[in-house]
Amino acid sequence: MLEMDDQMKQDIELKFDKAGGLLPVIAQDHATGEVLMLAYMNHQAWQKTLETGKAHYWSRSRNKLWLKGESSGHVQVVKEIRVDCDLDTVLLKVEQLGGAACHKGYRSCFFRRVDGQGLTVDGEQVFDPKEVYGQ
């Protein structure tokens, strides 16, 4: 996807150190603009994402490198990478394979809206988590 030599990769000095090694990454559907999820990358996840064109994150709960979709098959194919003014947040525009980013089976992790009732689920559920991940 992104043709980039080693020097180019080094030139983009994201501020991992300032943020304790992890930067927040927003994944957005490249076609619809829907915000799908927020996750974190360390330097290794960033490099793997650049190398493979598939979104890799650092799982804070499992404390390991995580190819998004490695269990579910719902890989995120990276179409565009953007960085913010402070070089401490990444925005990935992705094609979400399987149609759902959330481990609860919704298209987006932001499947709940805050309103006068508290939280209202209005996101679209694409799969049943039990069928994909088991019990």
If you ran DSSP here, which 8-state letter would residue 125 be given? B
Which stretch in 30-38, 51-59, 69-77 sits in contact with a second copy by CB under 8 A? 30-38
In whole angstroms, the minimum distance from the beta carbon of 9 to a second copy comes to 9
Please say which residue, 46 or 75, places its beta carbon nearer to a second copy: 46
Binding mask 54-93 for a second copy (x = CB under 8 A): --------------------------xxxxxxx--x-x--
The C-alpha angle with vertex 46 and arms to 38 and 70, in degrees rounded to 5, equals 65
Q: Which secondary structure element, helix H or strand E, spans residue 44, and what is its range? A: helix 43-52
What radius of gyration do the chain's Cα atoms show?
A: 16
- Residues touching a second copy: how many (CB under 8 A)? 40
Separation between Cα atoms, residue 133 and residue 41, nearest integer Å: 23
Query: Would you say 16 and 23 are in contact if contact means Cβ atoms under 8 Å apart?
Result: yes
Please say which residue, 75 or 109, places its beta carbon nearer to a second copy: 109
Taking CB under 8 A as the criterion, the residue among 113, 124, 128, 133 binding a second copy is: 113
